[in-house]
Amino acid sequence: MVFSSHVFLFLFLPLVLVSYYLCPRPGRNVVLLGYSLLFYGWANPLFALLLLLTVGVCYLAGQLAARRHRPEGGSGRIGLLLGVVFPLLVLGVFKYFNFARDNWNAIAAAWGPGLAELDIALQVVLPLGLSFYTFQAITYVVDIYRGDARPQKNPLDFASYIALFPQLVAGPIIRYGEIERQLRERRETINLFARGVGFFSIGLAKKILLANPCGQIADAVFATGTTAAADAWTGVFAYSMQIYFDFSGYSDMALGLGLMFGFVFPINFNSPYRSVSITDFWRRWHISLSSFLRDYLYIPLGGNRKGNLRTYANLITVMLLGGLWHGASWTFVVWGAWHGVGLAVERLWNQRVGRRIAPTYLAIPLVFVIASLGWVWFRADSFSHAAEIFRSLFGLADPDERALLLDGWIRQPYLLLTLFVALGISWFGVPTHRLLRSIGFAKAIAILLILVLAVVAMSNQSFNPFIYFNF
């Protein structure tokens, strides 16, 4: 089930809201847990069982990890190992089994008879949101072991924290300390609910009115193969806008849904295409993932405390793993390396020169182009596919016959206008969290009109993927 669907908007969400507010306060977390499991298991109930298994193991791991800080003593290491190894094992099996098998067989075939191929025909299906709730469960156990959070005694409240449907399938990755008090004593107010409706409406509009039309352009270009340079750049920039407003829209909707139930989630997206550096980009794009990689991987690896070479190696290693986290494909690894090398080069420049590579008015478009070229690896199906796009971008390929049809199709006035509007909003628009600090009558009417327009447009669209649901 996705937020931008009729089932969610007109059936699931009204039911959960009515059930939640009719239920006495002590039982509201249980209501949310029940509906969250229904939401997650809608396509496949077995996914909900896997989620509950992870919840159970990490709840036990948290209790064991807390022994490190109890008066009677205890290392808590068993809990730490259990709470880190088990979720990573689950993630590895479901997300990387097919990838590992196919790569092993490719190596075995190239090596010769001395290396046996894995004759396993099992096709593992990736449960939605597995990468997100796995990382969230790990932060809980690690923070307890470090003493940064206290273990949750109520297993139902802990399950609600992990399974909470607004952020379950695509984040933000919420640390337990950020939400612990809200699980116990949050207060739902009309103001929070109104802001929640505002966030959700704007997020839905971003998804339906901007991301989906840009995605149609991007899919047409990436499916064409070699094409004219102008069309290739149009497709790459369209994909940059699709993934931007897809994720920005989802982040707004997640925050909005949380507010409707009294939860205040951290901001997870903050105008990343206005970044003046690659470092700035990662402070703004998927903020909760960036902070996870920093606090649970980069710093434990040594961060910037062990010399420049080690710092550069740590940056690249973290981004390589971040790329692999996004998808079990070497193209995602290259995307991670693209950003990792960019971060390292940028840090080296700042150390040697002492200032940014370019002034702000040049840095913003430069970072946007670098990020957009990186998205080619993110979107491409293979190295050869990415190579086709790059050859087209720089005029090094002869367009094939399909490009003749593509040229007229992507230049439809509606699609091009949507692309230019999306570009303008990404650079000059007011971020949602600033726009909705307060809601007056005029703003409320505007939000309602945006919501109606998005719902009407959604009814006429058949193209409605959520990119980050694949991770």
Burial class (CB within 10 angstroms; exposed 0-12, middle 13-18, buried 19+) of 435? middle
**DSSP class per residue in 231-244:** HHHHHHHHHHHHHH
What single-letter DSSP state applies at residue 9?
I
What lies within 8 Å, CB to CB, of 169 at 6+ separation is 40, 128, 129, 132, 469
What per-residue string of b and e applies to 394-429 under the rule 16 or more CB within 10 Å gives b? eeebebeeebeebbeebeeeebeebbebbbebbeee
Q: Where are the alpha helices (DSSP H) in 27-119?
A: 28-40, 45-65, 77-111
Residue with tokens 């950003």: 339
Largest CA distance in the chain: 75
What lies within 8 Å, CB to CB, of 383 at 6+ separation is 330, 331, 334
d(CA 35, CA 164): 9
Catalytic residue among 6, 69, 326, 385: 326
What lies within 8 Å, CB to CB, of 471 at 6+ separation is 131, 132, 170, 325, 326, 327
Known catalytic membership, residue 326: yes
d(CA 421, CA 426): 9
Residues in the chain, total: 471
How many Å from the N-terminal Cα to the C-terminal Cα in the chain? 15
Token pair, residue 456, equals 């009407």
Please say whether the beta carbons of 167 and 254 come within 8 A.
Answer: yes
Provide the residue type at 161 as one letter. Y
Active site residues: 326
